[in-house]
Amino acid sequence: MPREFSRTKRVAAQVQRELAQLIQFEIKDPRVGLVTVSGVELSRDLAYAKVYVTVLREEHNVEEVLEALNHAAGFLQRELGKRLSIRVTPHLTFLYDASVERGANLSALIDAAVAPKQK
């Protein structure tokens, strides 16, 4: 009988929670600003993690935020290793998650199409 959640998914969820706290409270780089960790994809051997983030304020440049997070990836990996009880701490790569922005654009298009035409 297969398990409901695989180990990879459980560890990915734990990594997502811990990284959200670490980014919020430990990263002092002003380029980061308000960032949400929207998802984590782990490799099957738990050695590599793709961390998807969204930027909540428009005044922060996405490229600068990603550069700052990827620069701090070593620090975050070390702190993550202290908080997790796994043998190998995953190598972190931060990527921008545009799904929230795409969802807002689609919602605006649907609202515009459904809205009654005014004469």
8 A C-beta contact, residue 94 and residue 39: no
Compute the CA torsion angle 106, 108, 114, 115 (nearest 10 deg): -170
Distances (CA, A) of 79 to 21, 84, 90, 103: 11, 9, 11, 33
The fold for domain 7-114 equals GMP Synthetase; Chain A, domain 3 (3.30.300)
* Chain segment 53-64, per-residue pLDDT in tens: 998 877 678 899
CA atoms within 13 A on the CB side of 67: 7
* Chain segment 76-87, per-residue pLDDT in tens: 999 999 999 888
Predicted model pTM: 0.82
* Chain segment 89-109, per-residue pLDDT in tens: 999 999 999 887 788 788 888
pLDDT tops 80 at residue 26: yes
Q: What are the structural domain ranges in the chain?
A: 7-114
